C-alpha cells in the first residue's frame, strides 16, 4: 500500500514535470544573412514540434505550413545576403563590415516596427511567455519584448560579439580572449593585443552610438516608455551561444550563457547521383572547397585563383568546389564545380579528406562534426576567430589570403592530409560528440527552464556593476589619495622637525 502510494507519487511527479505545457514563443530574427537562419530555423521548428506555439518574424518563412508554427514574413522587403562580399582582407574591410552591420541592424529595426503584422502583436496585446531573439547587430527587439512584457532569451549563430560581453558580465581581456574580427586567437602577439584593444573599443562605441541610439529613436516613434536598450540587454535571461569548448576552447561564462554549438547539424541525406559517382570513384578521396554563401568566390584575384588551381593539380585527390561561375580557368579535369553543393551531405562522406574553407562557423561546425581536417582561409566577420580556433584545437591549419601562394597552400594541404593528423581530427570529433545531452536538447531544456522559473536570476553580478567599480577605479582612487596624504604628512613632519632642530641649534650658538 505504502509502496504503491509512493510509486503513484513518483509517477505523478514525472508526469507533472514532463507535462507538455504549451508556451507561446515569439522568435525575432530579422537579419537577412541566410546562414544565421540555418541555426534559428531548426531551433524554432523543434520548439513547435515539441508542442509550443511558435511565431517567427524573419526574412525566411517556411515554404510549407508547419503545425504550431506561424510566420510573420519579411520576405521580399530587403535583399538577402548571398554572394555579396568580396574575397579580400584588410583593416578597411573590417571597417566596411562594421558599417554594414550598423546599416543592416538599424534598417531592419525600422522595417520590423513598420510591419503591420508585428504592430498587431502589441495592438492586440498578444501574450508571449518568451521572446527569443538574435544577439547580433540590433537590440531593437528587446524594446518590442519589453512592450509585450515577455522575458528574453538571446541566441547567436557565432561567437559572442565584442559589444555583448559586458551585458552578460563576460570577461573580456585582450591577453587571452579571442577577438571575433581579428587573428591571434587565444595567443595574440603584442601587436595583435594592441590591435584588438583598438578594435574592441571601436566596435563598442560604434554599437552604442550608431546602433542602439538609432534603434532607440525608431522605437520611440512607436512606444513612449522604453528603457535604454543596454539596460534591457542586461535583463536578458539567458544566452544560447553557438560555440563549444571542444573547438573554441574553455571559456569563463556566467551560468546564464549556454553553449549550443552543433545544434544546426542534421542527418546527412543521400548525395545527387553524379556527385556521388565523382566522389566514390576517386581513388585517393576528395578535397572539398567552399567559401560559403555570402562570399562571391569569382571575385578572387586571378593570381590567387591560379595559385589554388596549381596547388590542387599537384594533389592526388579529386576536388569538389562550390563555385559560382560556369567554368574555372583551364577547365581542370580533377575539379567538379557547382553553384550549389549539399555541403552537410558531402562532408559526411568518408571519402572527403580535407575541407578548404572560409571558416564560417557553420562550415567549421560541420567539419568537426564529421571529423574532416580543414585548411582555413578566413575572409571577413567572425571567420578569423573561427580559423584561429581551428588551428588551436587541431582541426586544421590556417592560411591567410594575403600570403596565399601555390607553395604555401600545397604545404598546408600536405599537412592536413597526413594520416596521423587525420586520426587526431577523428579523435577531436569524438570529443565534440561526447556530451550528456545533444545541443538541441540543451537549447530546448534551458529555454523551457526560463519559462518554468521566471523568478530565478541567473545573470552574473558582473553584468550590473558600474564600470568604475568593475575596474576598481574607486578603490584605486582611495589608495592614491591615502598615499598622497601620507606622503604629504611625512614631508610636513620632516620639515617641521628639521626647522625645530635648526632653531634649537641657532639658540644654542647664540647662548655660546
Beta carbon of residue 313, minimum distance to ligand NAG (angstroms, whole number): 56
Angstrom distance (rounded) from CA 410 to CA 354: 12
Interaction residues for ligand NAG, span 164-223 (CB under 6 A): none
Interaction residues for ligand NAG, span 130-169 (CB under 6 A): none
The single residue listed with the C-alpha cell 521580399 is 76
The residue (of 70 and 110) whose beta carbon lies closer to ligand NAG is 70
Binding mask 300-319 toward ligand NAG (x if CB under 6 A, else -) reads --------------------
Are 169 and 463 a contacting pair, CB within 8 Å? Answer: yes
Query: ∠ at Cα 104 (386, 55), nearest 5°?
Result: 90
Beta carbon of residue 48, minimum distance to ligand NAG (angstroms, whole number): 10
Q: Would you call 378 exposed, middle or buried from its count of C-beta atoms within 10 A (0-12, 13-18, 19+)?
A: buried
The residue (of 68 and 86) whose beta carbon lies closer to ligand NAG is 68
DSSP-H helix ranges across 78-187: 91-114, 116-123, 140-147, 165-168
357 phi and psi, to 5 degrees?
A: -140, 160
The residue (of 16 and 190) whose beta carbon lies closer to ligand NAG is 16
Beta carbon of residue 273, minimum distance to ligand NAG (angstroms, whole number): 42
The residue (of 62 and 103) whose beta carbon lies closer to ligand NAG is 62
Binding mask 418-457 toward ligand NAG (x if CB under 6 A, else -) reads ------------------------------------xx--
* Residue length of the chain: 512
Beta carbon of residue 195, minimum distance to ligand NAG (angstroms, whole number): 45
Are 352 and 373 a contacting pair, CB within 8 Å? Answer: no
Are 288 and 346 a contacting pair, CB within 8 Å? Answer: yes
Q: Which three cell numbers stand for residue 188?
A: 595574440
The residue (of 453 and 506) whose beta carbon lies closer to ligand NAG is 453
Beta carbon of residue 128, minimum distance to ligand NAG (angstroms, whole number): 8
The single residue listed with the C-alpha cell 581513388 is 283
Beta carbon of residue 72, minimum distance to ligand NAG (angstroms, whole number): 8
The residue (of 121 and 353) whose beta carbon lies closer to ligand NAG is 121
Interaction residues for ligand NAG, span 35-94 (CB under 6 A): 53, 55, 70
Site size with ligand NAG, rule: CB under 6 A: 7
Beta carbon of residue 69, minimum distance to ligand NAG (angstroms, whole number): 10
Q: Which three cell numbers stand for residue 242?
A: 553557438
The residue (of 215 and 448) whose beta carbon lies closer to ligand NAG is 448
Beta carbon of residue 138, minimum distance to ligand NAG (angstroms, whole number): 21
For residue 2, CA distances in Å to 9, 12, 13, 16, 255 come to 11, 15, 17, 21, 40
The single residue listed with the C-alpha cell 504592430 is 119
- Range list of β-strands (E), 432-509: none
Beta carbon of residue 66, minimum distance to ligand NAG (angstroms, whole number): 13
The residue (of 70 and 208) whose beta carbon lies closer to ligand NAG is 70
Q: Which three cell numbers stand for residue 271?
A: 548525395
Are 22 and 51 a contacting pair, CB within 8 Å? Answer: yes
406 belongs to the binding site for ligand NAG (CB under 6 A) = no
The residue (of 58 and 104) whose beta carbon lies closer to ligand NAG is 58
Among 126, 255, 477, 485, binds ligand NAG (CB under 6 A): 126
Residue 299: partners with Cβ closer than 8 Å, 6 or more residues away: 86, 87, 88
Are 395 and 425 a contacting pair, CB within 8 Å? Answer: yes
477 belongs to the binding site for ligand NAG (CB under 6 A) = no
Closest residue by Cα to residue 45 from 261, 259, 264, 256: 264
24 belongs to the binding site for ligand NAG (CB under 6 A) = yes
Beta carbon of residue 244, minimum distance to ligand NAG (angstroms, whole number): 32
The residue (of 72 and 160) whose beta carbon lies closer to ligand NAG is 72
* Chain residues that interact with ligand NAG, rule: CB under 6 A: 24, 53, 55, 70, 126, 454-455
Amino acid at each position: 500500500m505504502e509502496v504503491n502510494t509512493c510509486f503513484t507519487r513518483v509517477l505523478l511527479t514525472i508526469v507533472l514535470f514532463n507535462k507538455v505545457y504549451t508556451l507561446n514563443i515569439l522568435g525575432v530574427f530579422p537579419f537577412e544573412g541566410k546562414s544565421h537562419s540555418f541555426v534559428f530555423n531548426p531551433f524554432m521548428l523543434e520548439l513547435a514540434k515539441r508542442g509550443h506555439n511558435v511565431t517567427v518574424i524573419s526574412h525566411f518563412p517556411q515554404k510549407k505550413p508547419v503545425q504550431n508554427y506561424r510566420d510573420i514574413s519579411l520576405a521580399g522587403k530587403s535583399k538577402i545576403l548571398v554572394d555579396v562580399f568580396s574575397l579580400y582582407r584588410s583593416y578597411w574591410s573590417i571597417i566596411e563590415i562594421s558599417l554594414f552591420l550598423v546599416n543592416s541592424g538599424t534598417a531592419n529595426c525600422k522595417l520590423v516596427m513598420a510591419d503591420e503584422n508585428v504592430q498587431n502583436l502589441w495592438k492586440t496585446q498578444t501574450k508571449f511567455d518568451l521572446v527569443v531573439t538574435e544577439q547580433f547587430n540590433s537590440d531593437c527587439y528587446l524594446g518590442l519584448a519589453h512592450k509585450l512584457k515577455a522575458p528574453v532569451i538571446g541566441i547567436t549563430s557565432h561567437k559572442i560579439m565584442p559589444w555583448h560581453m559586458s551585458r552578460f558580465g563576460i570577461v573580456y581581456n585582450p591577453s587571452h580572449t579571442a577577438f571575433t574580427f581579428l587573428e591571434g586567437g587565444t595567443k595574440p602577439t603584442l601587436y595583435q593585443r594592441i590591435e584588438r584593444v583598438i578594435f574592441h573599443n571601436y566596435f563598442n562605441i560604434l554599437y552604442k552610438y550608431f546602433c542602439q541610439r538609432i534603434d532607440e529613436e525608431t522605437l520611440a516613434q512607436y512606444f513612449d516608455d522604453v528603457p535604454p536598450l543596454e539596460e534591457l540587454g542586461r535583463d536578458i535571461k539567458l544566452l544560447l551561444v553557438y560555440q563549444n569548448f571542444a573547438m573554441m576552447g574553455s571559456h569563463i561564462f556566467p551560468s546564464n550563457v549556454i553553449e549550443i554549438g552543433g545544434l544546426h547539424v542534421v542527418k546527412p541525406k543521400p548525395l545527387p547521383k553524379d556527385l556521388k559517382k565523382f566522389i566514390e570513384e576517386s581513388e585517393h578521396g576528395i578535397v572539398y572547397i567552399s567559401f560559403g554563401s555570402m562570399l562571391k568566390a569569382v571575385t578572387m584575384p586571378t593570381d590567387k585563383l591560379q595559385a589554388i588551381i596549381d596547388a590542387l593539380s599537384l594533389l592526388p585527390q579529386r576536388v569538389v568546389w562550390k563555385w559560382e561561375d560556369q567554368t574555372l580557368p583551364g577547365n581542370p579535369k580533377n575539379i567538379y564545380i557547382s553553384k550549389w553543393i549539399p555541403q552537410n551531405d558531402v562532408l559526411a562522406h568518408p571519402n572527403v579528406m580535407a575541407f578548404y574553407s572560409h571558416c564560417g562557423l557553420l562550415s567549421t561546425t560541420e567539419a568537426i562534426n564529421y571529423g574532416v581536417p580543414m585548411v582555413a582561409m578566413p575572409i571577413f566577420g567572425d571567420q578569423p576567430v573561427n580559423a584561429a580556433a581551428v588551428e588551436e584545437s587541431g582541426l586544421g591549419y590556417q592560411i591567410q589570403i594575403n600570403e596565399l601562394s601555390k607553395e604555401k597552400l600545397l604545404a598546408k594541404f600536405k599537412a592536413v592530409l597526413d594520416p596521423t593528423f587525420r586520426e587526431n581530427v577523428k579523435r577531436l570529433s569524438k570529443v565534440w560528440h561526447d556530451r550528456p545531452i545533444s545541443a538541441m536538447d540543451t537549447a530546448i531544456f534551458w529555454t523551457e527552464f526560463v519559462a518554468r522559473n521566471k523568478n530565478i536570476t541567473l545573470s552574473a553580478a558582473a553584468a550590473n556593476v558600474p564600470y568604475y567599480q568593475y575596474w576598481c577605479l574607486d578603490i584605486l582612487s582611495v589608495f592614491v589619495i591615502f598615499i598622497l596624504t601620507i606622503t604629504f604628512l611625512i614631508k610636513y613632519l620632516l620639515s617641521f622637525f628639521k626647522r625645530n632642530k635648526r632653531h634649537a641649534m641657532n639658540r644654542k650658538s647664540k647662548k655660546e
